[in-house]
Structure 1
Amino acid sequence: MRILIIGAGATGGYFGARLVQAGHDVTFLVRPHRADTLRRRGLRLTGLGEPDEHVTPQFTTAAELAAAPDPAPYDLILLTVKATALTPAIEDFAPAVGQDTVILPVLNGLAHLDPLAARFGAHRVWGGVAKIITTLNDDGDIVRLAPFATLDFGPFDGSDPARAERTAALLDAVPGIEAKASTDTLGDMWAKWSFIVTVSTVNILGRGSVGEVVAAPGGDALGPAALAEAAAVAAASGHELPQDVRDLVSGMATETGSPLTTSLFRDMTAGLPSEAEHLFGDLVARARALGVATPLLDLATLQLRVQEARLTK
């Protein structure tokens, strides 16, 4: 299987590195500045008190891919960019898409699905959820912050389950990756979306980590209240969150002493562009259309939009 990974950041870099280590045919499609880093340092994994690991990956740029006289299509394209980079990424990897290519995006939320389906056809686009906590350090190395790295995915219409199972088996056999073919891809995506907006709302409105917010009087009520709003939107959309998911998210959003913050909140506090519209704007718009009240999510969305507006000045 030929695999193209779009982006070599904290998520794509980790999964790609593990696939390379396992001997798979993997190429990264990266921006020129990331290509320079990979050329100088390779791909490095660090963190969790484990020895650093170094991988020398194959990589290409959009210009190189477009200039290839007859680029061979890839079997699987793993799309790991942030939503803010989705539009250019779609055009960048378009030459790599063939008749039998599967595109597996692991972006959060659902807003990315329509533009991908419009450009490449819905039959080529699977749904996917990545659960991994990593970041990039100043050297461009991938820092692991938690020991798990999972991928759940599958086609939305249930077509070709055998291919989904084969793909999952291939990925699950790679040390450092747990993968499975999902029987409810949209439900999985709604569950993760609800988790992200719940914790982000705690971070944004409480202006701190989960532990810092919970330690303040009344702070332990914020997470469950935000989750109730997100879960109401999911249910109104036909994807009611299972009780075990609700319990897990509520527990993580109220854990005493937890340092948990979302990447969206970290981008916001660092003055960087964030996935505000992709994660919050889209969700509250769906809530309005469905007649679901989301006052806490609305307030978090407003704060994010104010911050985004500052970045454009």
Structure 2
Amino acid sequence: MKILVLGAGAVGGYFGARLQQGGADVTFLLREPRATKIAKEGLVIKSGKGDAVLPVKVVTKGSEGGPYDIVLLTCKAYDLDSAMDAIAPAVGPDTTIVPMLNGLAHLAALDAKFGADKVAGGLARIGSTLGPDGEVRHTSPFAALAFGERTDRPARPSLVALDAACKKAGLDGGLNARINQDLWDKWIMLTSLAAMCCTLRGTTGDIMAADEGEALMTETVEECRKVAAAEGFDPGDKGIAHLKTYLTQRGSGFAASMLADLEKGGAIEGSHVIGDMLARARRHGIAAPNLRIALAVTQAYEARRARGALGKPGQ
């Protein structure tokens, strides 16, 4: 089985490296100058699960080395259009695309371009960043990939093979017959966390230190839950109780990566993560005041960023 990983960033770099260490045939599709750097120096992983410097196969065009059996799509939502163009030449008649983006909005775009039969459901659970020298720094005790069919069809052979490769590589997760529910569960968590972290500019612990912090967080979770329920994916009382416990831990340093992107003046996935959830709430006639404010916060930030006014009061 041939696997193409788009990008060698915090997510794609880690999982691609571990799959290769497990014996999988992995190629990374990269832009310059990262392609040259990794081809010369190797892919560097710093992790409590084991450091590594790996020589890896690198291409700069999707037409090189393909077609591939699996394409792992690990870009940010704001890069989706260019990412789809990049992987298009790598997609053959039997290729399966496994997207690891946040939320669900990307699935419609991928279905429209490649056909729904080529697009599986997928998600990543990992804490990781890129270090100053381009090294992948794995910072969480967990590293899991989950993927599966989005319909009731039996898992196709390429996903079964990917599951075996993940197990051989020591990765958690793997083939998931309930991938659609898992996608919604993660989206509820991420939207609630990102909405509150960006609106209140703090970690979970910081938010809990505010008088109304816990109430705002739990209200946001409930707004997202109502949307999920309206679309047929209610996590249930037990799932929501677990999520609320996780998001209301006092003293926790847990925060959405969107907050870090915002604080450094970078591009963010506000519309893809928060905006899509709010749009679905409106379609179902669900009141979502916290999501409404959070989306406005991220959009105002994006407007300031677009005109180069970040860090310049009054502009």
Determine if the TM-score, normalized by the shorter chain, exceeds 0.5: yes
Separation in structure 1 between the aligned mates of residue 119 and residue 180 of structure 2, nearest angstrom: 12
| Maintained 8 Å contact 1:80/1:106 | yes
For residues 71 and 45 of structure 2, what CA distance do their matches in structure 1 show? Answer: 22
Secondary structure at the residue paired with 1:260? Answer: coil
Q: Relative to structure 2, which stretch is displaced further, 33-42 or 72-81? A: 33-42
Q: Percent identity?
A: 38
Contact map agreement 1:210 1:257 (CA 8 A) in 2:
yes
Letter of the 1:16 counterpart: G
TM-score calculated relative to the size of structure 1: 0.93
Cα pair distance change 1:213/1:72, threshold 3 Å: closer
Aligned length: 306
Is 1:104 matched up with 2:83? no
1:225 is aligned to 219
**CA shift in 2, pair 1:130/1:312, >3 Å:** same
The aligned counterpart of 2:313 is none
1:57-68 matches, within 5 Å, as 57-62=56-61, 65-66=62-63, 68=64
Given that residues 202 and 253 in structure 1 are in contact (C-alpha distance below 8 angstroms), is that contact kept between their aligned partners in structure 2?
no
SS in 2 for 1:148: strand
Contact 2:198/2:258 (<8 A) preserved: no
Question: Distance in 1 between the 2:164 and 2:118 partners?
Answer: 19
Where do residues 16-95 of structure 1 align in structure 2 (5 Å cutoff)? 16-48=16-48, 52-62=51-61, 65-66=62-63, 68=64, 72-95=66-89
TM-score, normalization by structure 2? 0.93
Structure 1 residues not aligned, in runs of 5+: none
1:194-213 paired onto structure 2 within 5 Å: 194-213=188-207
The Cα shift of 1:51 comes to: 5.6
Moved over 6 A (4+): none
CA distance in 2, matches of 1:160, 1:73: 23
TM superposition shift of 1:265: 1.4
Distance in structure 2 (CA, Å) of the matches to 1:33 and 1:196: 31
Aligned partners of 2:5 and 2:16 also within 8 Å:
yes
> Offset at 1:201?
2.0
Return the offset for 1:261.
Answer: 1.0
TM-superposed CA distance for 1:32, in Å, is: 0.8
- C-alpha distance in 1, partners of 2:198/2:220? 11
Distance 1:165 1:96 in 2: 20
Give, as a single letter, the amino acid of the residue that structure 2 aligns with 1:53: A
Letter in 2 for 1:58: K
Q: What are the Cα deviations for residues 54-96 of structure 1, in whole angstroms up to 9, with x where unaligned?
A: 111111113xx44x5xx53100111001111110110111111
Residue 174 of structure 1: aligned partner: 169
The alignment status of 1:12 with 2:7, answered yes or no, reads no
Shift in Å, 1:33? 2.2
Counterpart code for 2:60: T
Q: Give SS of 1:101's match.
A: strand
Give the match's secondary structure for 1:75.
Answer: strand
Deviation at 1:162, TM superposition (A): 5.2
Distance 2:120 2:285 in 1: 29
SS in 1 for 2:250: coil
